[in-house]
Amino acid sequence: MKIKAIMDTLVSKPDRAGGSYTAFRYTVTETGRQVTGLVGRGCESNVSWALGLKGLCDAQNVYRTTHELSIRDWNRVTSDFVYSGSHPEAIAEFIQKELRRTVKVDVYEPPTA
Closest CA to 49 of 86, 74, 20: 86
Q: Residue 29's pLDDT is what?
A: 87
User: Left, alpha or beta for 42 (phi > 0: left; psi -120 to 50: alpha)?
Assistant: left
> Where do the domains of the chain lie?
5-100
Q: Residue 76's pLDDT is what?
A: 93
Q: Residue 63's pLDDT is what?
A: 86
Determine contact, residues 35/100, Cβ cutoff 8 Å: no
- Answer yes or no: is pLDDT of 70 > 90: yes
Angstrom CA distances, 65 to 10, 25, 47, 53, stand at: 9, 10, 11, 19
Q: Residue 59's pLDDT is what?
A: 65
Structure confidence by residue, pLDDT tens digits, 11-59: 899 888 888 888 999 888 888 889 999 887 666 665 665 666 556 666 6
Structure confidence by residue, pLDDT tens digits, 89-103: 888 888 888 888 855
- Answer yes or no: is pLDDT of 73 > 80: yes
Average pLDDT over residues 51-73: 77
d(CA 27, CA 75): 20
Q: Residue 93's pLDDT is what?
A: 86
Q: Residue 103's pLDDT is what?
A: 58
